[in-house]
Amino acid sequence: MRVGFIGDVVGKPGRKMLAKYLKQLRKEHGLDCVITNCENASHGFGVTPKNAGELLHSGSDLLTGGNHSWDKKEILEQMDTLPLLRPLNYPDAAPGSGYKMLQIGDKKLAVINLMGHYCMPMCDNPFVKIERFLPGLQKQNPDHIIIDFHAESTAEKQALFYMLRGKVDAVLGTHTHVGTDDLKIDGGSVYISDVGLTGCRDNVLGMESQIAIDRFLQGYGTHFDVPDTCKAIMQMVVFTLEKGCEEAYKLRIYDSGEIQRQEAYRE
């Protein structure tokens, strides 16, 4: 089974990159499943049902979320009907689900969305939550387990990986929008601290640079805004699952059509 995982899609520039490139990438890389983090897909904050539909139409099979999952209130009524996850460690009363079991051919793929503690909204401890959750999930006999860990701290992400190494097939970091170069396979599991954003690459985290600069200079600023025009990038980790993770690499697709590939290293 070959899976593609796309980091935070930020606004219209990010959605346009998926619409332009994803279906062709699915063919070229033989992807059986594509998972996309969509929590910034609608003008940088949350996702609307319309924009979720765009991402699915572009070639995504499942959408994951994070701390902005609830920003667009119109999505709440469709959290249980769309192939859309929110973090597992939000309160049980929250709409939607934190995991989904996908049937990919004759294999069962469990995808979990989890959120960190540091600099994030109030939620259950992700380490305790996942430790208690996995035994019940294992009773459903998944062939593979993937976690989108939406967290600020690289140390928190690394700690979760080392706790779960060999127990899950992938721990893939999202949220910071800045891609890291630590893609690796260790103990049969693939890990990266942050896949990186899909959206504007020539601004601050996909948002208008001047607004961020003003905040640092003045201590306050206006609402973050996604530029209408920018230089864009799409970032995706591709990995093959058999008995654990057999192969992994990261793709950076630029709006010019240039594609860069980075192979995972092995511990």
148-198: per-residue pLDDT in tens? 999 999 999 999 999 999 999 999 999 999 999 999 999 999 999 999 999
pLDDT digits (tens, 9 = 90+) for 69-93: 999 999 999 999 999 999 999 998 9
Confidence of residue 220 (pLDDT cuts 50, 70, 90): confident
Catalytic residue among 29, 43, 57, 68: 68
Which pTM was predicted?
A: 0.95
What does the block give as tokens for 185? 């396979």
d(CA 229, CA 180) in angstroms, rounded, equals 25
68 is catalytic: yes
The pLDDT of residue 221 is above 80: no
User: 150, 64 in Cβ contact below 8 A?
Assistant: yes
Confidence of residue 138 (pLDDT cuts 50, 70, 90): very high
Domain 2-200+231-266: state its class: alpha beta
The pLDDT of residue 104 is above 90: yes
Q: In angstroms, what CA-CA distances link 72 with 16, 47, 75, 188, 228?
A: 20, 6, 6, 37, 20
* Mean pLDDT, residues 122-129 taken together: 94
Confidence of residue 120 (pLDDT cuts 50, 70, 90): confident
pLDDT digits (tens, 9 = 90+) for 193-212: 999 999 999 998 888 888 88
Confidence of residue 263 (pLDDT cuts 50, 70, 90): very high
Q: In this predicted structure, what is the pLDDT of residue 254?
A: 97
Nearest to 226 by CA among 36, 57, 9: 9
Segments making up each domain of the chain, as ranges: 2-200+231-266
pLDDT digits (tens, 9 = 90+) for 2-51: 999 999 999 999 999 999 999 999 999 999 999 999 999 999 899 999 99
Residue with tokens 């004759």: 106
